[in-house]
């Protein structure tokens, strides 16, 4: 069916939308693919639906190729399954919750592990039914605090989520690898480079987890990679831990007056004036100080808890990284948020002297255990190893402790990965230095294991007639986010440039001018292309200037543009490859053959 611009529900915009932050957002709105309905929520217009259908078709083909079968769940779901898995609470404020007229609780599903599990439980009961892979392409909802970047991070989005069900861990590994391979093929067909990086499981739970990141300067995910092949999301990077140090001959720690030194920078300056080190060891630096950062954690239950993190003074706490790694230390599951403690938080703990906080002078006193007072949870960076010596706060204004030895003078409640990862840090697998990059998360795969099967009692009879808990995998692809990533990658200063595989049409025929012969010739080329199986968009609008038509053609981004205009008098039309920008005049009677040849080259 030819898309005729004279009747197509389309209005292009000359000006960028005021809230557009990135190119994909700006161009998808201007070119008439989507329209904003509310913050983080978009209406899909006819051109957008065309692209969306093509992306979904690629996903479906690759899922079918690994034997996964499609189902479709409601987006509106009851509370009970999520209460059973504890995710009604764990998701915190990110969950859209609502009540029906009878005051029953419902949610708009952010993900569907629970109901997939219950469906299989309802229908299958034997090992002979497994392995099984099911998937859906469904609208998801998450109450993002700051929706932004158009389709990149919204409150409503379309995702493909698949789930595998196996009798044992060996089967899970096989299913995991099958889905992983399908993802690489999906993104290759979409023209998106992706890197599979180690990741944390977060609220999903499970063991092994990988993200598929598309390298992009507008990406919200930070990841690292080494020349030796290591790749991980920063939340999943583990620090190369120094060796413990024998402290048997170390002198006792000493408290010194350090007036006007509440920051690391001022402390280092004071330390070098008070107690300069010998020439061989050089001056004191921020790396020699132990910074104790007081943080407030908002738990999934709504409670607020203070924790203190001890980190080398030359490092900064990465709150996003900490939010991924801290829950296990707090023995909570679900999403948490972390922020710097405020003045009200500190007033509740008078021993916390701002700018001079330290872990204490003895193991017994470690972090506010002094005088029988209740202690706060104290976690340290992996670089704080037994025998390491530090300059740190003495819990008194204008005083610091010099030579405080970890493991001798103070202890800790746990070791947590919390500081920013830097370019030049060593990869944990010994494969070299890390470099930092930005990426857009396009997919995420998890070995869920038995978490959901256990709480929802998904069991089958094994070969011996014994009931065993099924093991599961979860595999997600951001479908609407993929469209944004494709648009972000494929554009220029004039508009979008769609890859042929996902373009709303393959050829855009533009009739330029008022001459009836021009429109007749353009109509014939359009009909012949359609008869040959090409997808055609035809700008047959009357009384629209050539400049507007060409501007729209380049903005909309169909990969092949055919202009029928003044050249027709000489028997030629213009054929343009939107990607390369190359244009050539071709004889009108050869136009269809040349267009089809270019289409083949671009496919």
Residue with tokens 């010194």: 256
Q: Read off the tokens for 528.
A: 């012949």
pLDDT of residue 199: 86
Which pLDDT does position 371 carry in this prediction? 44
Are 507 and 524 within 8 A, CB to CB?
no
What is the maximum alpha-carbon separation in the chain?
A: 98
Q: How far, in Å, CA of 156 to CA of 96, rounded?
A: 11
pLDDT at residue 207, rounded to an integer:
65
Q: How far is CA 585 from the centre of its chain?
A: 45
Tens-place pLDDT, residues 352-406: 889 999 987 666 666 655 443 547 889 999 999 999 999 999 988 999 999 999 9
DSSP 534-545: --EEEE--TT--
Residue 109 tokens read as 């599903």
DSSP one-letter string for 214-257: EE-TT-SEEEEEETTS-EEEGGG----PPPP---TTPPPPEEEE
pLDDT at 364: 62
- Which helix (H) or strand (E) is 495 found in, with range? strand 495-496
d(CA 258, CA 119) in angstroms, rounded, equals: 65
**CA-based nearest residue to 417, from 200, 196, 205:** 200
Omega before residue 131 within 30° of 0, cis: yes
pLDDT value at residue 165: 98
What pLDDT is attached to residue 89? 86
Cα(559)–Cα(581) distance, integer angstroms: 10
All residue ranges of the chain with pLDDT < 70 are 201-207, 361-374
Q: What is the pLDDT of residue 362?
A: 64
Strand, helix or coil for residue 594: helix
Question: What integer pLDDT is reported at residue 347 of this predicted model?
Answer: 87
Nearest Cα to Cα of residue 195 among 218, 176, 212, 220? 212
Query: CA–CA separation, 513 vs 550, rounded Å?
Result: 12
As a whole number of angstroms, the distance between CA 302 and CA 259 comes to 39
> Residues 44, 34: contact at Cβ < 8 Å?
yes
3-class secondary structure, 448:
strand
């Amino acid at each position: 069916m030819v898309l005729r611009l004279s009747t197509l529900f389309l209005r292009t915009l000359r000006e960028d939308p005021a809230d557009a932050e990135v190119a994909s957002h700006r161009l998808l709105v201007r070119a008439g693919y989507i329209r904003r309905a509310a913050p983080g929520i978009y209406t899909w217009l006819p051109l957008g639906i065309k692209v969306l259908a093509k992306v979904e078709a690629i996903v479906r083909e690759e899922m079918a190729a690994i034997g996964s079968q499609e189902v479709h769940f409601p987006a509106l779901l009851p509370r009970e399954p999520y209460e059973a898995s504890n995710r009604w609470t764990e998701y915190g404020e990110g969950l859209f919750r609502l009540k029906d007229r009878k005051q029953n609780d419902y949610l708009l599903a952010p993900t569907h592990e629970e109901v997939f599990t219950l469906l299989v439980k309802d229908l299958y009961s034997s090992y002979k039914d497994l392995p099984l892979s099911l998937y859906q392409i469904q609208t998801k909802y998450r109450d993002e605090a700051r929706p932004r970047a158009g389709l990149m991070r919204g409150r409503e989005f379309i995702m493909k989520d698949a789930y595998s069900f196996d009798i044992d861990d060996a089967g899970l590994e096989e299913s995991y690898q099958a889905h992983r391979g399908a993802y690489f093929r999906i993104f290759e067909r979409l023209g998106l480079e992706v890197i599979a990086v180690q990741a944390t499981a977060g609220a999903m739970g499970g063991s092994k987890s990988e993200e598929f990141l598309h390298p992009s300067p507008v990406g919200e995910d930070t990841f690292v990679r080494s020349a030796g092949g290591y790749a991980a999301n920063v939340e999943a990077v583990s620090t190369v831990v120094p060796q413990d140090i024998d402290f048997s001959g170390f002198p006792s720690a000493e408290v010194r007056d350090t007036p006007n030194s509440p920051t690391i920078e001022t402390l280092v300056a004071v330390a070098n004036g008070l107690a300069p080190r010998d020439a061989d060891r050089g001056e004191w630096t921020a790396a020699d100080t132990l910074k104790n950062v007081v943080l407030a954690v908002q738990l999934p239950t709504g409670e607020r808890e203070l924790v203190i993190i001890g980190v080398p003074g030359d490092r900064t706490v990465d709150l996003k990284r900490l939010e991924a790694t801290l829950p296990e230390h707090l023995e909570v599951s679900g999403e948490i948020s972390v922020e710097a403690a405020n003045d009200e938080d500190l007033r509740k703990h008078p021993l916390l002297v701002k700018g001079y906080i330290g872990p204490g002078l003895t193991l017994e006193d470690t972090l506010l255990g002094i005088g029988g007072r209740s202690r706060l949870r104290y976690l340290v960076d992996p670089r704080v190893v037994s025998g390491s010596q530090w300059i740190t706060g003495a819990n008194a204004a204008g005083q610091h402790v010099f030579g405080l030895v970890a493991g001798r003078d103070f202890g800790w409640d746990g070791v947590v990965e919390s500081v920013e990862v830097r370019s030049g840090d060593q990869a944990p697998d010994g494969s070299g230095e890390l470099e930092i990059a930005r990426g857009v998360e396009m997919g995420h795969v998890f070995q869920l294991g038995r978490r959901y099967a256990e709480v929802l009692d998904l069991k089958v009879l094994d070969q011996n007639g014994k009931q065993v808990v099924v093991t599961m995998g979860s595999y997600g692809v951001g479908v609407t986010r993929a469209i944004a990533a494709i648009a972000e990658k494929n554009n220029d200063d004039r508009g979008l440039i769609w890859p042929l595989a996902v373009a709303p049409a393959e050829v855009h025929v533009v009739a330029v001018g008022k001459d009836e012969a021009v429109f007749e010739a353009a109509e014939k080329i359009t009909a012949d292309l359609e008869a040959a199986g090409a997808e055609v968009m035809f700008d047959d609008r009357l009384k629209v200037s050539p400049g507007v038509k060409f501007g729209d053609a380049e903005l909309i981004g169909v990969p092949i543009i055919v202009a029928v205009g003044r050249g027709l008098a000489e028997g030629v039309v213009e054929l343009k490859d939107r990607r390369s920008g190359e244009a050539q005049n071709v004889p009108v009677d050869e136009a269809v053959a040349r267009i089809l040849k270019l289409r083949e080259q671009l496919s």
